[in-house]
Structures are given as C-alpha cells and as structure tokens.
Amino acid sequence: MSGSKTIPEQVRKRAAELRDVLHRHNYLYYVLNEPEVSDAEYDRLMRELIALEDAYPELRVPNSPTQRVGVPPIDKFETVTHTIPMLSLEDAFSESEVLAFDDRVRRFLGTDSDILYTIEPKMDGLAVELVYENGHLVEASTRGDGYTGELVTQNVRTINTVPLTLIKTPSVPIPSRIEVRGEVFMPIEAFKRLNQERLDRGEQPFANPRNAAAGSLRQLDSRITARRHLEIFCYGVGTVTDLKFTSHWEVLQHLKALGFRINPYIKRQVRINGVFAYYRDMLDKRYDFPYEMDGIVIKVDDLELQKRLGEKARSPRWALAYKFPPTRETTRVLKINVQVGRTGALTPVAHLEPVSVGGVTVSRATLHNEDEIKKKDIRVGDTVLVQRAGDVIPEVVKVIKTKRTGTEKAFHMPAVCPVCGCKVFRLKGEAVWRCVNANCPAQVKERIKHFASKGALDIDGLGDKLVGQLVEKGLLSSYADLFFLDKTTLTKLERMGEKSAENLLNAINKSKKVSLSRFIYALGIRHVGEHISRVLAQKFRTLRRLMSAGVDELKTVDEIGPVVSESVRAFFGNQENQKNIERMLKAGVTLETEEPAGEQFLADKTFVLTGALETMTRSEAKARIQAMGGKVSSSVSKKTDYVVAGKEPGSKLDRAKELGIAILDERKFIQILRSYRGKG
C-alpha cells in the first residue's frame, strides 16, 4: 500500500496480543463481573494499543477494543434479511392462558407427560441479531419486521457487553458462522441520567428505557451510541454451522462459554407449576432489578420438540411471553397544576382520574415542561396513556386524540408564579420557567424539605405538612431558622404536643454534627447533587475554602465543569446565602472534615444495604461508607463485596446468598468500619 509504513513483526504480534488481552479483560469485567486487573492497568494496556494503532493505522481492525468509541456518522442504515426469521412471541396475561399454552403443546406432541421448560426474564428492550464468522463480529442488525432488519453494526460494536471476538478454549468450539440473538437495553439509572441531561439541555426526554435504548441504537452517528450506556443479554441463536445442540439450555451454556452475557436468572427444566412460582418471584422482585422487565419467557427446552412444534404465522408454538400487569393505562386529565421547586422551576403536573398502573394507584403524572405539553398537545379533559416504570414518577406518554369530544381545554403556563404572584422567566436555551422571587414560600418550603431530607441533614420528624405549617406561619423563612426553633413556639402548632416538639428539637440538635459533603448537598446548590458534593468536600476539605474558591479554581477539580463552577460561585457569592451559613455555624452546626483522598480505606469496595439498622439510619451508613471511599449500590451483583443486612431484609439478602457474597450483620459492619479506620 503506497505511503504506508512496513509494520515490524514484533509490533504486529504485540498488537494482536493486546487485542486478545483487552477482549479477555472486557469479558471478565462486563460479562462475568470478575475483573482481574485494576482500572489503571487496563487503561495502560489500552493506551499502548492506541499508540500502536496511531503509529501503524493498518493495525486498526474493526474488532479492535479501541473501536468501541464509535465512528463518524453514516447517511442511512442499510437493511439485511435474517436467514431465520426473528418471530415475535404470543402473549399471555393469566395463569389460565399459560395452562392453555401447556395443554396445546402436549396435545400437538400427542403426550400426557409433563413438558420441561426453560424460563427467563423478559427484557423490555430491542431485539438484535449478532453475526460472527470465524469468531469475529461481522454484522449486527435489528429485528425489524422479523424478516428484514437494519444494519447497526458500528453502533453495536460500542456496547461493552457485546464481544467483538469470541473466547477461544479447547473445550468450546467456535463455529465458522453463528447468529446470536439478544436484547439490547438501557439500565434504569442510565436512563434517568440521560433524561436529566436532555431536560437540562431543554430537549425532549425519552418516554421509557426501551425507547431510549432504541433511539440510542439507531443513531446514524455511532459516537453518540458510544456515550449512551447500553447493555445486552443474549437468549438464543439463528443459523449455526458445525455445531449441534439438543436443548435450549445447552445453547445458552455454549453462548456463555463463548463470551456472551446470559441472564443469571434463567432456569432450566421447569414443569408448568414451577413456571407460576418463578413468575410470582420475578414479579415480586421486578423493581429490585437495575433494568426493566415486563414478564417472563417460557420455552420448550428440548430442541427436537421445538422443531416438531414449529411456528404459526407470526410466533413459534414452543414459546410464550407471560406478561406482568401493565405499567401503562389510559385515564383522563382532570386538571393541570403548576408546582414550584426549590430552584424556582415551574413544573406542570397532570391531576388524573385515579387508575391502577402496575399494581399502584396513580392520580398524578409529571408533564415536565411547557414544550413537552405543546409537543404532545395535552389538554385538560384529554384521555391519555399513562406510564409508570419502577420508582420513576408516572408520566403521560401520549394523548388518545380519537377520544376527544371538543370540550377539552388547552393549557398555558402562567405569567406569574402561582404561589407568590411574582414574575416568571425562561432563559434562552432552557425549557423551564422559573419564579424570580427567592423568598417565594413554595421555594422556601422545598429548600427546607431538601435540607432536612435523608441524603442531607436527615432531620427525623420534619415532614411536608409540618414544614408547610412553619413556613405559612412565618416561623421559617430559610433552613437556618430551623436551629432557632423552641419548644414554646412548636407546641402552639396544630397536632404538636410537648413530646413531639421535644423529639423534633432533639432531631434538629442531632443534625448539627454533619459531614461537609452532606452539608454542601443540603444547601441545595443548583447542579450539585450528592456525588458532586462529595467531590467538592474531598477537594476543599473545609467550608471556608470552598466558599472562597473562584470559578477558575473550581474548574480545575475533576468532574467539575464550567456550569457547576458558575453555580457554586454564584451561590456562595450571594449575601443572603452567606448570612444563612453564618447563622447555622453560630447555632452550633459542626462540619466533619471529609477523609482525604489518600485515606480512602474502603476504595474499590461495594456495599449493598438491606433492612433496618439499629445504631444508625441507612443514610448514615451510606455516608460513612462513602466518606471512606466505598460505593453503595442499590442492587446485588458479582461486583458487590458486602451486603449489610439489618432487621427484615429484603430479596437482596437472598440474591447475596445465591452469589456467595459476604453478608454482614450490623455488629460486623461496624467492626469493619472501625478496623479500616484503624489502618490509618
């Protein structure tokens, strides 16, 4: 090739070695959750490979680990025909429908014997087909209409849980061609972060994680896909050369051995009664999972029986989707009110005719902002489709316009704050209207509620109604006023006896001793959440240093960009905020210095908390772990180091036992905290 450099043989060999090593570490980290090297070592290997490919571009093959970052955009997606159709599944919504399916299977096969099924969670994502030739990913496509899909190979390459090359072992043969089928999805936490980023930019949020995954996978610019957190579980195959399997379970085990990620909750050889027990268990755990699932899938395990059963026009006779109760329902918009948040943001909220969605009665749904209402054309009186997913706030998905009668009324954002009557404004580039009055009672209430919340000062007994009373009676105009309340004043309030007043004052006094990071978070600085609060606390170590930091100094801190820097500087530059902080310090608020970066004794340790603790709240336990560099996760996985089990633990304890993860009671947990501190 003209102009290209001759690649020394040792360089070519080293690049191949690095590709193999990095593929293996990706598999260990993303698929098995069992990393063998530190992040620093992995980064060193990756930088070495990048340097070699930069020096010798011909080494940059499509399946190199360096290519997960995406490539320049394409004009449009090409299409491909699946060699074996990707059929959809027939749905069932009741035990009687599942029993009817089992009866049909046995009658079709002419047997009275029990059928053995493989059962698995039904992911709510996007079906794809991955084609490998001689162990290398050569093509990836969407399900499409089941017969023809769109080629999304470059986008799929960016998904860390998709192997670019298959694992080679003597005992696991790699077929010359294998078509692997799976479900691409976006974890719930990643979905929330993405939607918040879009709202902050004034963009339309995705309706649900499935839409977010589909939208991310179908980007013409794969670099955008690479920035989205997509994952995959593989569940079957299309055409496979050179290999023969006897059961669906055997297929899954072979895929796992080749490096594919298989859902760990799949069960094999289950009779029909076992299917119902599994369904109830998955339904009970539904919202404990870090991803969305909308049911279970039941498959005849024996492949020869699958072949005999065959397919109907649109679905196989040997498989069934047993769906969970719907998380979407139709209802009617009774009225639209506007709520005012602690930063002055005006959020329209739909008040609905109560409806059960996924087993929970929903009577309100967020409408996000004015642009969202206009885009969906939501009017008072409309019949709408409402969606709820996990603990995500219910929202209106769309209007059922065919149900309109002509009596529906358009909604307009108010020109003044609905609480204080002051002018509202909307900055250029933002989707949110805001109240300009910092002393607006609604903002004051929300700021105080945030200040007293579990992630902040955790003042027990200071609920929404009590905060409302205190603000409306003029007893609180800022969170600093909390530290100057007295028993005489409190006992004059409705439903506030002497004992209740004493309990509240004790809780306020207890909150005076707080870590710097929790105090920063409690202040309610715009764009500063719990994580950024910890970053700032560990960097500046004292409140005085943080308060005096300029924008340029703030921008030098890792993870702190210009928007956060400006917000922090503006907050501490405000005289009213300075006055409130000084009042709190004079009232006896004591800030505990964060552990410096060199003393993060629990670094790389991941904890999961379940059940109630006696000597501390869950929030306090979380803060102590994080102050020492540890991580606290909401779900149990192979990456979890410890599960702390208090009284009445939930299903997380069962999951920990299944995975063989260390389980700590409260006494052992405290011993660990003390022993790590003792290493200093």
Tell me the one-letter amino acid at 46: M
Q: Identify which of 560, 463, 453, 597 has the alpha carbon closest to the alpha carbon of residue 514.
A: 453
CB 635 within 8 A of CB 290: yes
How far is the C-alpha of 254 from the C-alpha of 26, rounded, in Å? 19
Distance CA 498, CA 486 (A): 11
Cα–Cα distance, 123 to 282 (Å, whole number): 12
Q: What is the DSSP letter of 680?
A: -
Q: 576, 438 in Cβ contact below 8 A?
A: yes
- 111-117 long-range CB contacts below 8 Å, 24 or more apart? 114/271, 114/272, 115/271, 115/272, 115/300, 115/305, 116/268, 116/269, 116/270, 116/271, 116/300, 116/301, 116/302, 117/269, 117/270, 117/271, 117/272, 117/275, 117/298, 117/299, 117/300, 117/301
DSSP state of 285: H
Say if residues 76 and 220 touch (Cβ distance below 8 Å). yes
Question: Cα 622 to the chain's mean position, in Å?
Answer: 19
CA distance 615 to 601: 22
Residue 141 and residue 152 in contact, taking contact as beta carbons nearer than 8 Å: yes
Judge contact between 600 and 632, C-beta under 8 A.
Answer: no
Encoding tokens for residue 482?
A: 């909390």
Strands (E), 162-216: 177-185
- Can 122 be counted among the known catalytic residues? yes
Residue 506 and residue 515: Cα distance in Å, rounded?
18
Cβ atoms of 269 and 289 within 8 Å: the answer is: no
Q: 530 — phi, psi (to 5°)?
A: -60, -45
Tell me the CB-side half-sphere exposure of residue 340, using CA atoms within 13 A.
Answer: 25
What is the rounded CA–CA span in Å between residue 117 and residue 542? 60
CA distance 497 to 475: 17
Which value, to the nearest 10 degrees, does the dihedral of the CA atoms of residues 159, 162, 168, 173 take?
Answer: -160
Structural contact between residues 385 and 324, judged by C-beta atoms closer than 8 angstroms: no
Q: Are 469 and 476 in contact (CB under 8 A)?
A: no
Sheet architecture: strand order including 177-185: 136-142, 126-133, 177-185, 231-240
What φ, ψ does residue 139 adopt, rounded to 5°?
A: -160, 140
Catalytic residue among 5, 13, 76, 122: 122
Looking at the DSSP assignment, which residues form a beta bridge with residue 316? Answer: 311
Can you give the length of the chain in residues? 680
Angle at 155 between CA 149 and CA 160, to 5 degrees: 120
The residue type found at 108 is F
Tell me, what DSSP letter sits at residue 423?
B
Contact 254, 172 (CB under 8 A): yes
Give residues with Cβ within 8 angstroms of 550, minimum separation 6: 569
Q: Do 638 and 32 contact (CB within 8 A), yes or no?
A: yes
Annotated active-site positions, please?
122
